[in-house]
């Protein structure tokens, strides 16, 4: 069977379908998933076990056999907990075959094969009865079907079907119930992730089209590590509210529902954003609770456990609404079988509109074309001021300017500065239409021409028969995942060579790849080996992940928004490669080797990589590191781009002796111009004492 997976092609700026080995892409999916993170989540595991043990006890006290149904078993951990707690038998359902095979090996290795049956099906396909997948219905339902939004992985339909078809008339559920919390806030920072705000560019103030201002946005939640958002970045307009509960011990419905809550505004301001999270009671009494609440709710107490598989939610209201202190409001959480969204009304203004009860859908195109980081980048006034200063140096009144970036406002800057002719290229028809709307709204529709073409497809006629004297870019492309994927600009510049005037100005002049060795506060957990968990041997999962990553681990980094994941710089930031955009892409590979000397003691778990762009000889912009605290090494990262993170293969707890040992992190990097990829390897080496 042929398997295809999507992969960014930096040479074309597109996502290509690449044929892989039959199991390769699946194993990669497991390896890059949050299984290790969940297994390392001791708080989660302990509370699940307490809830399971109590549920088994309640069933036994009724004089019944404890028959468990575990939906989405993953590694089989919760099923093994159930048998250890005294359950008589467990049916463990896992639809994903490579994971089901791994769970079977783990169950057998731990001696539970006679008590646990792994069923490789979707729970809705499971049959009960003689000759069926289950001999009889279960009376304990254990699940871990939850995501950051609680219901986003289809928990409600799965519960609804299981309770109707696979459970006895009376059952125990672990978790027993979940509660969703919300807080209404004003936040310019978070609102800038959702709207194109008025922006001063040169002599122009750019405004977004009316349909973009009124657009409710997309249905996907913005999930973040809310602990890393400073409390100074938002102002609470309400208390924390329990907006709705799901009782898993009762029949669950996946039907759409609305949950209104009356509130009184704590302050005057602009209601823009709803912060949300949930907690789970593992037992009916609510004595065992697993909570996702942000740490700043209890700043004086011990911080809660770090998690990446479950975070917190940011929901954007359909529109900004001014509220007065003490004003009575109604905040409504709407949910269907997969999504949650919020609306806000003033009390006394009638019932919720039919529109607000519908799942939000973008009608302006911006929320489909741009993600939250891109909105933030476009709204970054300081960043745009640096581009403005650079363009003032680079452009002249007779410049024929071509911009090669997706959804860029640089053409507006070029027009403000006074370039004679301005063209901009967009990679998709939707992006083309979006930018044309923005230009028309700002009366620039006849001054900036949008080309929806590939660089290879541009003709002399497209450029009015003239040569380009200024080729400009941010660069930014919507398909880019890793920092160096935006080197697509270099390939575009090469393809456009015949259309460039002699002595063409190229902005940015060049890009450079930077790297530093890092100690991560928590991020290391998602890739740390996990050979045992709560006393069970789960090394089969660790072996499978290790084997599937043997090749890639020595060559690839992962994209992460480092502002959400605190880390310490153990080495000085180092420039390791430079790409000169004034020249065409070279035919030969470009390689570099060297060492990062670890100037601070700590646990070196990997390296962080990012790009910096030299706009002019004097002006540059960074998509990564902004500042390092001299004494502590704490890093401040650019918040509107993802950085590349390379995890070392051996993530071991540091010993005091090891952390004091002088070391180097040696690196070897190779840029392949045929693929546009950067292959890399890092090795930690002890430095010999002199």
Q: What is the pLDDT of residue 143?
A: 96
| Exposed/middle/buried for residue 489 (C-beta within 10 Å: 0-12, 13-18, 19+) | buried
- Across the range 143-167, mean pLDDT stands at 95
- Across the range 453-462, mean pLDDT stands at 95
Strand partners, 35: none
Q: What is the pLDDT of residue 16?
A: 63
Q: What is the pLDDT of residue 653?
A: 44
Q: CA 181, 187, 193, 196 torsion: positive or negative?
A: positive
In sequence order, which residues have a C-beta less than 8 Å from that of residue 444 and are 6 or more positions away?
A: 411, 412, 415
Is this model's pTM higher than 0.85 or not?
yes
Eight-state DSSP code of residue 634: B
| 22 carries an active-site annotation | no
Mean pLDDT check: name the lowest of 34-43, 229-238, 493-502, 669-678: 34-43
Q: What does the chain come to in residues?
A: 690
Per-residue confidence band for 539, with pLDDT thresholds at 50, 70 and 90: confident
Eight-state DSSP code of residue 302: P
In sequence order, which residues have a C-beta less than 8 Å from that of residue 641 and are 6 or more positions away?
A: 373, 377, 483, 561, 610, 623, 624
- Across the range 265-283, mean pLDDT stands at 98
In terms of CATH, what superfamily is 380-507? Vaccinia Virus protein VP39 (3.40.50.150)
Q: Mapping DSSP to helix (H, G, I), strand (E, B) and coil, where does residue 123 land?
A: helix
Q: Where are the domains of the chain?
A: 35-174, 178-372, 380-507, 510-686
pLDDT over 90 (residue 617): yes
538: left (phi over 0), alpha (psi -120 to 50) or beta: alpha
The residue among 74, 300, 193 whose CA lies nearest residue 564 is: 193
Q: CA 499, 503, 507, 508 torsion: positive or negative?
A: positive
**Token pair 């509107």: residue:** 640
- Mean of the per-residue pLDDT values of the chain: 90
Residue range 82-108, pLDDT digits in tens: 999 999 999 999 999 988 999 999 999
Count the neighbouring beta carbons within 10 Å of the beta carbon of residue 188.
14
The residue among 3, 79, 77 whose CA lies nearest residue 41 is: 77
- Across the range 114-138, mean pLDDT stands at 97
Peptide bond into 29 cis (omega under 30): no
From CA 537, how far away is CA 529, in angstroms rounded?
A: 12
The residue among 545, 542, 544 whose CA lies nearest residue 532 is: 542
Helix (H), strand (E), coil (C) string for 435-501 = HHHHHHHCCCCCCEEEECCCHHHCCCHHHCCCCEEEEECCCCCCCCCCHHHHHHHHHHHHHCHHHEE
Q: What is the pLDDT of residue 218?
A: 83
Let me know the angle formed at the C-alpha of 579 by 578 and 582, rounded to the nearest 5 degrees: 130
Q: What is the pLDDT of residue 36?
A: 75
pLDDT over 50 (residue 553): no
Residue range 507-525, pLDDT digits in tens: 999 999 999 999 999 999 8
Query: What is the layout of strands, in order, in the sheet containing 590-597?
Result: 590-597, 663-672, 677-686
From CA 652, how far away is CA 658, in angstroms rounded?
A: 11
Eight-state DSSP code of residue 57: H
* Beta carbons of 484 and 570 less than 8 angstroms apart: no
Q: Which fold has domain 510-686?
A: 2.70.160
Per-residue confidence band for 566, with pLDDT thresholds at 50, 70 and 90: very high
The residue among 563, 574, 560 whose CA lies nearest residue 635 is: 563
From CA 89, how far away is CA 79, in angstroms rounded?
A: 9
From CA 525, how far away is CA 157, in angstroms rounded?
A: 31
- Across the range 642-664, mean pLDDT stands at 68
* Beta carbons of 276 and 181 less than 8 angstroms apart: yes
Count the neighbouring beta carbons within 10 Å of the beta carbon of residue 111.
11
- Across the range 533-547, mean pLDDT stands at 78
Catalytic position from the list 20, 29, 64, 153: 153
Residue range 284-329, pLDDT digits in tens: 999 999 999 999 998 887 888 999 999 999 999 999 999 999 999 9
Q: What is the pLDDT of residue 334?
A: 96
Residue range 394-433, pLDDT digits in tens: 999 999 999 999 999 999 999 999 899 999 999 899 999 9
| CATH dotted code for 178-372 | 2.70.160.11
Q: Which structure tokens are listed for 612?
A: 């910096």
Q: What is the pLDDT of residue 688?
A: 42
Q: What is the pLDDT of residue 549?
A: 47
From CA 140, how far away is CA 51, in angstroms rounded?
A: 11
- Does 35-174 match 178-372 in CATH topology? no
Q: What is the pLDDT of residue 551?
A: 39
Q: Mapping DSSP to helix (H, G, I), strand (E, B) and coil, where does residue 298 land?
A: coil
| 64 carries an active-site annotation | no
Beta-sheet pairing, 116-119 with 590-597: unpaired
Q: Which structure tokens are listed for 522?
A: 């928590």
- Helix or strand (DSSP H, E) at 410: helix 410-417
Chain mean position to CA 374: 13
Catalytic position from the list 144, 172, 612, 684: 144
Q: What is the pLDDT of residue 657?
A: 45
Count the neighbouring beta carbons within 10 Å of the beta carbon of residue 689.
6
**Token pair 């409710």: residue:** 216
pLDDT over 70 percentage in the chain: 90
| CATH dotted code for 35-174 | 3.40.50.150
The residue among 491, 476, 474 whose CA lies nearest residue 675 is: 491
Mean pLDDT check: name the lowest of 364-368, 372-376, 647-651: 647-651
Identify the residue with better confidence: 555 or 230: 230
The residue among 119, 125, 124, 83 whose CA lies nearest residue 103 is: 119
**Token pair 């302006």: residue:** 364
* Beta carbons of 668 and 593 less than 8 angstroms apart: yes
Mean pLDDT check: name the lowest of 134-138, 150-154, 538-542, 574-578: 538-542
Residue range 347-362, pLDDT digits in tens: 876 555 555 678 899 9
In sequence order, which residues have a C-beta less than 8 Å from that of residue 622 and are 6 or more positions away?
A: 610, 611, 612, 613, 638
Q: Which structure tokens are listed for 382?
A: 């300081």
In sequence order, which residues have a C-beta less than 8 Å from that of residue 352 and are 6 or more positions away?
A: 258, 260, 330, 332, 343, 345
- Across the range 120-125, mean pLDDT stands at 96
């Amino acid at each position: 069977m042929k398997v295809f997976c999507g992969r960014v092609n930096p040479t074309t700026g597109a996502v290509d379908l690449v044929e892989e080995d039959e199991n390769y892409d699946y194993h990669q999916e497991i390896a890059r998933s949050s299984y290790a993170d969940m297994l390392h989540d001791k708080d989660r595991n302990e509370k699940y076990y307490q809830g399971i043990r109590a549920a088994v006890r309640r069933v036994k006290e009724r004089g019944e056999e404890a028959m468990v149904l575990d939906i989405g078993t993953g590694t089989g951990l919760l099923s093994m907990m159930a048998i250890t707690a005294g359950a008589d038998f467990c049916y463990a359902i896992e639809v994903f075959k490579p994971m089901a095979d791994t769970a079977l090996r783990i169950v057998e290795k731990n001696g539970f094969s006679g008590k646990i049956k792994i069923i490789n099906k979707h729970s809705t396909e499971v049959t009960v009865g003689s000759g069926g997948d289950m001999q009889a219905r279960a009376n304990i339902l254990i699940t871990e079907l939850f995501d950051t939004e609680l219901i986003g992985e289809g928990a409600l339909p799965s519960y609804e079907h299981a309770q109707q078809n696979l459970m006895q008339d009376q059952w125990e559920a672990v978790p027993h119930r979940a509660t969703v919390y919300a807080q209404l806030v004003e936040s310019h920072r978070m609102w800038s992730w959702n709207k194109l705000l008025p922006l001063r560019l040169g002599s122009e103030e750019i405004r977004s089209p009316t349909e973009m201002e009124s657009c409710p946005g997309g249905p996907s939640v913005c999930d973040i590590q809310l602990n890393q958002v400073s409390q100074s970045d938002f102002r609470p307009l309400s208390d924390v509210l329990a907006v709705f509960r799901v009782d898993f011990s009762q029949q669950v419905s996946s039907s759409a529902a609305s949950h209104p809550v009356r509130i009184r505004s704590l302050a005057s301001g602009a209601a823009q954003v709803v912060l949300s999270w949930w907690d789970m009671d593992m037992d009916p009494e609510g004595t065992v609770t697993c909570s996702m609440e942000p740490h700043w709710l209890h700043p004086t107490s011990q911080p809660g456990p770090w998690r990446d598989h479950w975070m917190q939610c940011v929901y954007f209201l359909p529109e900004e609404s001014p509220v007065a202190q003490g004003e009575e409001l109604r905040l409504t959480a709407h949910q269907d079988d997969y999504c949650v969204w919020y609306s806000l009304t003033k009390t006394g203004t009638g019932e919720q509109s039919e529109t607000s009860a519908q799942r939000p859908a973008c009608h302006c195109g911006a929320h489909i074309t741009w993600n939250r980081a891109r909105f933030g980048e476009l709204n970054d006034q300081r960043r745009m001021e640096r581009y403005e200063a650079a363009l003032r140096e680079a452009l002249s009144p007779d410049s024929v300017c071509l911009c090669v970036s997706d959804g860029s406002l640089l053409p507006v800057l070029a027009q403000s500065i006074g370039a004679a002719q301005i063209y901009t290229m967009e990679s998709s028809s939707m992006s083309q239409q979006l930018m044309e709307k923005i230009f028309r709204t700002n009366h620039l529709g006849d001054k900036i021409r949008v080309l929806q073409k590939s660089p290879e497809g541009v003709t002399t006629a497209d450029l009015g028969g003239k040569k380009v004297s200024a080729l400009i870019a941010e660069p930014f492309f919507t398909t880019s995942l890793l920092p160096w994927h935006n080197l697509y600009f270099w390939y575009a510049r090469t393809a456009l060579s015949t259309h460039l005037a002699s002595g063409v100005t190229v902005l940015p002049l060049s890009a450079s790849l930077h790297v530093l060795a890092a100690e991560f506060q928590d991020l290391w957990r998602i890739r740390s080996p996990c050979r045992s968990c709560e006393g069970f041997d789960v090394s089969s999962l660790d072996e499978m992940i290790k084997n599937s990553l043997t090749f890639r681990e020595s060559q690839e980094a992962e994209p992460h928004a480092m502002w959400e994941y605190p880390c310490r710089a153990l080495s000085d930031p180092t420039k390791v490669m430079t790409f000169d955009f004034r020249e065409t892409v070279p035919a030969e590979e470009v390689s570099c080797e060297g060492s990062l000397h670890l100037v601070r003691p700590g646990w070196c778990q990997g390296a962080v990589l990012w790009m910096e762009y030299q706009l002019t000889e004097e002006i540059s912009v960074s998509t990564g590191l902004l500042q390092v605290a001299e004494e502590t090494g704490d890093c401040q990262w650019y918040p509107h781009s993802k950085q590349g993170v390379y995890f070392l293969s051996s993530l071991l707890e540091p010993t005091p002796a090891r952390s004091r040992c002088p070391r180097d992190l040696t690196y070897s990097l190779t840029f392949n111009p045929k693929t546009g990829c950067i292959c890399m390897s890092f090795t930690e080496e002890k430095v010999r004492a002199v």
